[in-house]
Structure 1
Amino acid sequence: MTGLVRENAFEAVIGLLVVAVAAWFILFAWNRTGGGIDDSFRVKALFPSANGVSVGTDVRVAGLKVGSVAAQRLDPQSYQAEVTLALNDHLKIPSDSTAAITTEGLLGGTYISLLPGGSETPLKNGDVIVDTQGSVDMMGLIGSFINRSGSEAPQPAAPGLGTMDEPAAR
């Protein structure tokens, strides 16, 4: 029996190391995706468009992460995206704050930016942020910019060429 343990000791140590790394990775992923956030309160925000937002998306104030998206669903009354935000409990964000879905640049990721208001009363668990701005459709904006042919007014015909209804001047 001791000979068997000596022969397989190296494999046992490697197996134990693999199990320890897997447990560390699971714990890291749980905390990173917000599964381990227990010191948070939840508020809701209704957005007309929530493109690019999913569970785990960052919520930031002044560029710093203060929470993450905990859930999202379609509000059956208003047909808007109802996004539940899990915010750090130690923050006292004013109740008249605004929420906007923004990107880090043309190719950057999407996050929800909170702009604190001036109210003395802070957001509490279960409150709703009413002043929101949905995501901007970047592909639609780029497409409309590319397909735009200049000014809005119709261009006059060049002198001497005429139009379809009148013959060209000679």
Structure 2
Amino acid sequence: MEKRAIDWWVGIFVLLGIAALVVLALRVGNLSGFAYNDGYVLHADFSNVGSLKPRSPVKLGGVTIGEVTHIGMNPKTFMAKVTMWIEPQVKLPTDTGASIYTEGLLGEQYVSIQPGGMPQDLQPGGTITMTQSAVNIDQLIGQMVFSKASGK
């Protein structure tokens, strides 16, 4: 009887360990994000999104206020069109800016929002027009090497 009780406890312990690993994997993979029931969608066009991916965070002052839901191509401007879901309590002015930054030196990229000062708010489905694209480290290093080689 004791052998059977020990087997049950070991089984329960193994199942709890597997459940903990699944929760950890979802957290690390950013798959346990927002529910899209509330909130609203905004768009922004960037000339270069770098390695930005769907489900990347959208931050305002370092606080996550939403996430990227889709990245596609704007056929009229030939720029990358980023679609973002924003929490419902966050109201952004019409002159809001958006930039793509990297978290740390080699971390994931995210969209940083810089609110403006206009009294009117962006409407759901609106577009952020003031954008700054992702910085390409390879281009920066190439420019630095070229400028050093040319003596400037």
Percentage of matched positions with identical amino acids: 29
| Structure 1: unaligned runs, 5 residues or longer | 152-170
Matched with 1:139 is 138
- Is the contact made by 2:52 and 2:108 (CA closer than 8 Å) also made in structure 1? no
Write out per-residue CA displacement over residues 112-131 of structure 1, whole angstroms, 9 at most, x where no aligned residue. 11111122122232111122
Q: Tell me which of the two structures has the higher relative contact order, counting C-alpha pairs closer than 8 angstroms and 6 or more residues apart.
A: 2
Matched with 1:84 is 83
TM-score normalized by the length of structure 1: 0.71
| Structure 2: unaligned runs, 5 residues or longer | none
Q: Does 1:101 align with 2:100?
A: yes
SS at match of 2:121: coil
Matched with 1:41 is 40
- Is the contact made by 2:55 and 2:68 (CA closer than 8 Å) also made in structure 1? yes
Q: If you compute each CA radius of gyration, which structure gives the higher value, 1 or 2? A: 1
1:45 partner letter: A
TM-score normalized by the length of structure 2: 0.79
Matched with 2:123 is 124
- Is the contact made by 1:34 and 1:70 (CA closer than 8 Å) also made in structure 2? no
2:126 partner letter: D
Cα RMSD after superposing both structures:
2.8
Residue correspondences, number: 150
Q: Distance in 1 between matches of 2:21 and 2:35?
A: 17
Q: Distance in 1 between matches of 2:105 and 2:6?
A: 57
Alignment of 1:1-170 (within 5 A): 5-6=4-5, 8-18=7-17, 20-21=19-20, 24-25=23-24, 28=27, 33-104=32-103, 106-148=105-147, 149-151=150-152
2:42 partner letter: V
SS at match of 1:95: coil
Distance 1:146 1:27, change over 3 A: closer
Using the TM superposition, give the Cα deviation of residue 63 of structure 1 relative to its aligned residue in structure 2, in angstroms. 2.4
Q: Distance in 2 between matches of 1:8 and 1:106?
A: 47
Structure 1 range deviating more: 2-11 or 34-43: 2-11
SS at match of 1:147: helix
1:118 partner letter: G
Structure 1 range deviating more: 9-18 or 26-35: 26-35
